[in-house]
Structure 1
Amino acid sequence: MIRAALLIAALVCDGVLSGASHAAEIKPTRVVTENGMTVLIVDQPFLPIVTVNVLVKAGAVYDPDAKAGLSNMVAEMLDEGTKTRSATQIAEQIEFLGGELAAEGGEDSATARLRILRKDADIGFTLLADILMHPKFDPKEVARVRDELVGSLQSEKDEPSIIATKAFNELVFKGHPYRRPANGDEKTVTKLSRQDLVEFHDKFYRPNRAIMAIVGDLREAEALALVKKHFGGWTPQELPLPAFPAPEPLPKPTLKLIDKDLTQATLVLGHVGIDRRNPDFYAVAVMNYILGGGGFSSRLVRRIRDEQGLAYDVGSVFEANVMPGSFAVHVQTRNAAANQVLASVFQELKRIRTEPVGDQELADAKAYLIGSFPLRLDTTAKLASLLNLVELHGLGLSYFDEYPKAIAAVTKEDVLRVAQKYLNPDHYALVVVAKLAEAKIDANVVSTTK
């Protein structure tokens, strides 16, 4: 009995779904409540656990420049006390129930997450609704959290990858909100006030800006009853949203050198990419897997790490957000090897833009992307997070059926076409964080992308 109880507890803690969680069997129900909140429900009765994610369109893109980090701090403060419960009371109650309750900010949105046993779903919904609708923003807690955030930002000053990424985003997203880190910077976060938090929360945390995903051992009727009971009083409010300018491509290849007394050079090379709703997303995913997103099987890793032995950390990524994100190649190498690594990166970018990929490369990329897709759905937490994003990006409830089919349909011609379309040698930004006297970066090196 004890062994069985421990096994059940372990499974519940992981929120693992059974084999029935295959993508084709995910059939979400979508309901829009009277107050405008979108609710997505997937009944998974395999374990007595329920995960609820509430995504709110209240991300860093809505921060004023002078208050960068505001949205992130609001999210961080949600579980730090409400008008009826202190932070300690919330933490003790959720811990007593063996659940989890947390919130976090992001670029486009913020998310509050609840994981609770089925038998405690009602109290779980009570706590989730309370932190979303009635945060207190107690002055003492505000000061404490602000100090913690500033301390975290100060520690980032010594992280080469963070330094390089920040500089890269400032170049690629000039004049666009994506240029700012979601957690802001030391100067702006230090000045954030309780009133700033209250006003942002009141403005953006509304049900008509929220997407709730409920996954686990709750029938549809039970889930909707809990939503109505705990969130029915959440007042909607229409909000005129700012019109964000589209990220403009750089007029020419741009190089930024940052001198640090380091033994390793950190390189970030790239430009504006695509948004998630772009119909070429699936072909781009396959192309990027072959180029640098496929771990040990990717071209960049095979060449720069395996064949040349010049880098341990190398890869590429397309960040497809609500608005066009970035394409970036990230590499860490010895200072003295920086130019050789860059030459190899440029050669691989040119090759994938000018030569069709091999049959086996294409087959391997598609097999991995299709085969790994169920792993993105194998816990209630993962599935709830993906449901939030599917709704946020307007991908439709058939997404779970369509994703494998869309990947399978990608051809060599598609890969070549999107490489030529979305890898642009005229608009790269290159950031190098290194001991420049050793790296000796040629200021004209970016021109070799052509």
Structure 2
Amino acid sequence: MTPTVKPPVSHSPIHRTVFHNGIVLLVAENPAADIIAARIFVRAGSCYENREQAGLSHLLAAVMTKGCAGLSSWEIAEQVESVGASLSTDTSTDYFLLSLKTVTADFPEILALAGKILRSPTFPETQIELERRLALQDIRSQKEQPFTLALEQMRQAMYQNHPYAMSVLGDETTMSSLTRTDLVEYHQTYFRPDSLVISIAGRLTLQEAIALVEQVFGDWQIPDIATPAINLPTITANPQHKLKPVQTQQSIVMLGYLGASVSSPDYPALKLLSTYLGNGLSSRLFVELREKRGLAYEVSAFYPTKLYPASFVVYMGTAPENTTIALEGLSTEVELLSNTEISESSLQAAKNKILGQYALGKQTNGQIAQIYGWYEILGLGIDFDTAFQELIAAVSSQDTLTAAHQYLQEPYLSLVGQEEAINSYKKS
């Protein structure tokens, strides 16, 4: 059956093609360099795990390239490295990702290898054990990092029984209990053609890309059984204070607010507020709390782009004796967003920063393949590339004030530091 090709809209360089088995192919022709990059997204990730299997998609990503369709881990690595290509797998909360990059002549061979890895992984027991040990080392090592501890404490308070509460690594208990059977069942359930988005950028034509994808993936049939619906709990705000005493040289003070998902009309305003507060050396938090008051070793804000309501977080690393005053400083700066309109010049500066960084993030074939595939797998569509820039440009000071009123009120607090610093905060 001939795939359906959607011509690019006037402002988009992307061709979108849907194959008979549900695969969505995005192609950006870029003849400037003799390189092709591809990103293959799968509707999987940690949101598709059971709570008691947290870390499953991470372990699957780690083991997936260690054996497939008659090839050993060494043979896969040799096939990739012998032509100077790169191939890797990764997972996030909202999707699974296979990334590859080659010179144009080697792309058919490496794409065929990627197809074998995606479709026929063997999950060797020895590799599972090795990758599990490495994951457990990572989990233990993160327990020694104050920032990671504070973020984990914040996530768990904010998201409770939602998958966003857990690290993609899971924890020691869940990672230790995962089996090869778990990996096989997860793969059989979620790795299917109608869950795939293949995004390619580089020196090849649309027709060449369609022919290659048809050759590698065209015979992959949609299973008779529908993908099971993921019934995630509703995320509702219930702010709490979480304090964790540890022996550390600095306190990590973190305030979190339940924000909006990427599909919400409030997303652009919150993205601008996050940039204004904590993106770079000219940001409000850096200037006010580090440069003027000397309170912070580090200070920033982040608001990740997520399918479900994301956390809006401001944090500071500070000297133990400054813990309470640092917390007051962070709180004051966030509260100002609800009480005072951001000046037009500051708002425009934040817009310029976002849009400038966004443009710089679409320079390479890998970046181009990543961003369009990412939008497609999140259900936003390739036109979101233009829509995002227009939405950011259209945000007014009143919009940011309204968003702050709605989302940035009573915060979750996560504090990690010396016991004396925590006791001092309690008394204040």
Superposition TM-score, scaled by structure 2 size? 0.94
How far is 1:404 from its partner?
2.5
| Match 1:360 to one of 339, 342, 345 | 345
| 2:327 equivalent to 1:305 | no
The residue number in structure 2 matching 1:249 is 237
Contact 2:86 2:100 in 1 (8 A): yes
The residue number in structure 2 matching 1:410 is 395
How far is 1:26 from its partner?
4.3
Alpha-carbon spacing, 1:197–1:189, altered in 2? closer, same or farther (3 Å): same
How far is 1:25 from its partner?
6.2
The residue number in structure 2 matching 1:268 is 254
Matches within 5 A, 1:29-428: 29-237=15-223, 238-250=226-238, 253-292=239-278, 294-425=279-410, 428=411
Deviations 1:2-43 (A, max 9, x none): xxxxxxxxxxxxxxxxxxxxxx96421111111111111111
Contact 2:415 2:422 in 1 (8 A): no
Contact 2:24 2:197 in 1 (8 A): yes
Contact 2:250 2:317 in 1 (8 A): yes
Q: Which amino acid aligns with 2:227?
A: L
Q: Which amino acid aligns with 1:289?
A: T
SS of equivalent residue, structure 2 residue 350: helix
Alpha-carbon spacing, 1:444–1:273, altered in 2? closer, same or farther (3 Å): farther
1:268 & 1:287 partners in 2: Cα distance? 17
The residue number in structure 1 matching 2:418 is 435
Superposition TM-score, scaled by structure 1 size? 0.90
Q: Which amino acid aligns with 2:109?
A: I
How far is 1:399 from its partner?
2.5
The residue number in structure 2 matching 1:14 is none
The residue number in structure 2 matching 1:7 is none
Q: Which amino acid aligns with 1:196?
A: D
167-176 or 311-320, which moves further after superposition? 311-320
The residue number in structure 1 matching 2:13 is 27
Q: Percent same amino acid at aligned positions?
A: 29
Contact 1:273 1:320 in 2 (8 A): no
2:153 & 2:345 partners in 1: Cα distance? 37
Q: Which amino acid aligns with 2:253?
A: L
1:154 & 1:258 partners in 2: Cα distance? 16
Contact 1:56 1:211 in 2 (8 A): yes
How far is 1:175 from its partner?
1.9
How far is 1:390 from its partner?
1.0
Contact 2:251 2:415 in 1 (8 A): yes
Contact 1:273 1:319 in 2 (8 A): no
How far is 1:439 from its partner?
4.4
Deviations 1:350-393 (A, max 9, x none): 11111011121012111122222211100111111111221123
Contact 2:253 2:326 in 1 (8 A): no
Alpha-carbon spacing, 1:241–1:96, altered in 2? closer, same or farther (3 Å): same
SS of equivalent residue, structure 1 residue 268: strand
Q: Which runs of 5+ in 2 are unaligned?
A: 1-9
Q: CA RMSD in A?
A: 1.5
Contact 1:27 1:397 in 2 (8 A): no
How far is 1:271 from its partner?
2.4
How many matched pairs? 417
How far is 1:440 from its partner?
3.3
1:440 & 1:299 partners in 2: Cα distance? 29
